Amino acid sequence: MKGTSLAKTVGVILAGGLATRMGGGDKGLLPLGNGCVLDGVIERLAAQCDALAINANGDPDRFARFRLPILPDTVADFPGPLAGVLAGLDWAAAQHADQIVTVAADTPFFPRDLVVRLQDAAAEVRAPIALAASFDETGTMRRHPTFGLWQVGLRDDLRDALAQGMRKVTLWGDRHGAAAAFFDAESFDPFFNINTPDDLERAKALLGRNIQF
């Protein structure tokens, strides 16, 4: 189900990381279920947004089978997720979209109501940014900065911030009063991501248990 906001919302999958703990390559292309990790990510996000794109660097042909726009960073030297957010915002502006929602390409079980919950959190405090958040087993709040809603009107501000050396998502978000959308992570962390071979085996085991996420 797509978000209930009247704003046009497009989704951007952030796949620009270097995957050093997996030995390099694209974590989203690792095998999972009947396809790969990215298949599940696309399926979840497509149901919540008006259009999708993938932020990735290097040869775009490796993503050809997904038939989605591939958005490379426009900032050199792999400055991190904010560069992917900027690429997404620029693409969204060309699509006449109002906002983007970003997700990580290596997180196959993120919430199916992510977009509407981010929209609600942003609207509640009239913030141009909302980030997903949860509480860990110790009760400590944890934000998930690659899972966020970003208004397209922020793109020039972000471009300037990156040019001045900004790299931390939460720091830039807090400059704009980023809201937090809280998700339950007590029984299962929906933002569990695949960083290591052991993580991939865990994801395969979770799918094998037919758990409904």
Inter-residue contact 47 to 10 (CB < 8 Å)? no
Any residues with CB less than 8 A from the CB of 24 and at least 6 apart, and which? 18
d(CA 19, CA 209): 27
pLDDT value at position 99?
98
Q: Give the residue with greater pLDDT, 187 vs 66.
A: 66
pLDDT tens profile 83-109: 999 999 999 999 999 999 999 999 999
- Residue 4's pLDDT band (boundaries 50, 70, 90)? low
Checking if the pLDDT of 3 tops 60, the result is no
Q: Taking residues 191-213, report their average pLDDT.
A: 86
- To the question of domain 9-208 being in CATH 3.40.718.10, the answer is no
Boundaries of every domain in the chain:
9-208
Q: Taking residues 19-25, report their average pLDDT.
A: 49
Which amino acid, one-letter code, is at 124?
E
Burial zone of 32 (CB within 10 Å; 0-12 exposed, 13-18 middle, 19+ buried): buried
Inter-residue contact 2 to 176 (CB < 8 Å)? no
pTM of the model: 0.92
Over pLDDT 90: what percentage of the chain? 79
Query: What Cα–Cα distance (Å) separates residue 8 from each residue in 45, 99, 115?
Result: 14, 7, 12
Inter-residue contact 18 to 83 (CB < 8 Å)? no
pLDDT tens profile 35-94: 999 999 999 999 999 999 999 999 999 999 999 999 999 988 878 999 999 999 999 999
pLDDT value at position 152?
98
Q: What is the mean pLDDT of the chain?
A: 91
Tokens of 178: 């980023």
- Residue 19's pLDDT band (boundaries 50, 70, 90)? very low
Checking if the pLDDT of 1 tops 50, the result is no
